């Protein structure tokens, strides 16, 4: 529910940003360029700050149930398909956004390449840490090597609760991973406007919002198509698979 409210508010912000950008493009003489640039920059800063509000919401949820955030239970199916530690992968969103910022000066292109490489390096480091956590949890919950233990009730398996306690302790780091991933996302959203003009930044933030919107629409269209598929494509009653 909180995420739905955030989306509604963010949609209004993007609608306002789009209206200002379109008005500037169709009537450039309506206001002095510096005034328009200042307004666009203010709206971009507000959009970046609003992503910070989402990060705070996710942090609050993660403290109670990190699995809810990591699994993307609050997102559409297509969004979950592209989810990275509770949100978008910064390096991917950079590519999606910059298609709408071109043309870029040589200095801008070099700066953005640096930000993208920085994001990729940070993502790789978090990925490695997350994989190490997965392995350690898997090791902790693995069954004892004694085959006879499989025939015992869980409560009677030696060290069962101790192993679960170890696993719980390791899973506690999920909350930290979510915070670090969101911090990386926020840093990316703040670094891009520092390298781009106000108009380029506005188009980038509109592209980021559109990216998420299209993923949600993709989920809706896929579900609609699946409901409309002929019944003949489903296995007949009583038939066995394999």
Q: Could you tell me the pTM of the whole model?
A: 0.84
- Listed residue (114, 53, 211, 107) closest to 203, CA to CA: 211
* Cβ within 8 Å of residue 129, ≥6 positions away: 177
pLDDT 10s digits, 12-54: 999 999 999 988 776 655 555 678 889 999 999 999 999 999 9
Q: Does residue 90 sit in helix, strand or coil?
A: helix
User: How far apart, in Å, are the Cα atoms of 198 and each of 12, 17, 18, 56, 221?
Assistant: 19, 11, 13, 26, 34
For the record, the structure tokens of 179 come out as 């915070």
Please give the Cα distance from 223 to 195 (Å, whole number).
Answer: 40
Q: Place 156 in a pLDDT band, splitting at 50, 70 and 90.
A: low
79 CB neighbour count, 10 Å cutoff:
18
For the record, the structure tokens of 26 come out as 């169709």
Please give the Cα distance from 20 to 4 (Å, whole number).
Answer: 25
pLDDT 10s digits, 91-131: 999 998 988 998 999 999 999 999 999 999 999 999 999 99
Contact (Cβ atoms closer than 8 angstroms) between residue 137 and residue 167: yes
87 CB neighbour count, 10 Å cutoff:
24
pLDDT, residue 242, reads 44
């Amino acid at each position: 529910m909180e995420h739905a409210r955030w989306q509604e508010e963010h949609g209004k912000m993007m609608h306002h940003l789009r209206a200002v950008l379109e008005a500037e493009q169709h009537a450039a003489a309506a206001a002095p360029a510096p005034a328009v640039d200042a307004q666009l920059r203010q709206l971009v800063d507000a959009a970046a700050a609003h992503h910070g509000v989402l990060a705070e919401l996710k942090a609050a949820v993660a403290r109670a149930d990190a699995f809810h955030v990591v699994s993307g239970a609050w997102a559409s199916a297509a969004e979950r398909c592209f989810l990275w530690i509770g949100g978008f992968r910064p390096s991917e969103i950079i590519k999606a956004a910059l298609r709408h910022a071109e043309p870029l000066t040589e200095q801008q292109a070099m700066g953005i390449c640096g930000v993208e490489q920085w994001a990729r390096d940070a993502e790789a480091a978090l990925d490695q840490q997350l994989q190490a956590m997965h392995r350690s949890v898997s090791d902790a919950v693995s069954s004892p090597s004694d085959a006879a233990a499989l025939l015992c009730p869980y409560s009677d398996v030696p060290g069962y609760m101790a192993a679960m306690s170890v696993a719980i302790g390791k899973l506690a780091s999920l909350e930290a991973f979510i915070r670090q991933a969101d911090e990386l996302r926020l840093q990316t959203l703040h670094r891009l406007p520092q390298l781009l003009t106000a108009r380029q930044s506005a188009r980038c933030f509109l592209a980021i919002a559109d990216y998420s919107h299209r993923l949600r629409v993709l989920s809706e269209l896929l579900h609609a198509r699946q409901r409309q598929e002929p019944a003949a494509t489903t296995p007949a009653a009583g038939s066995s698979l394999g």
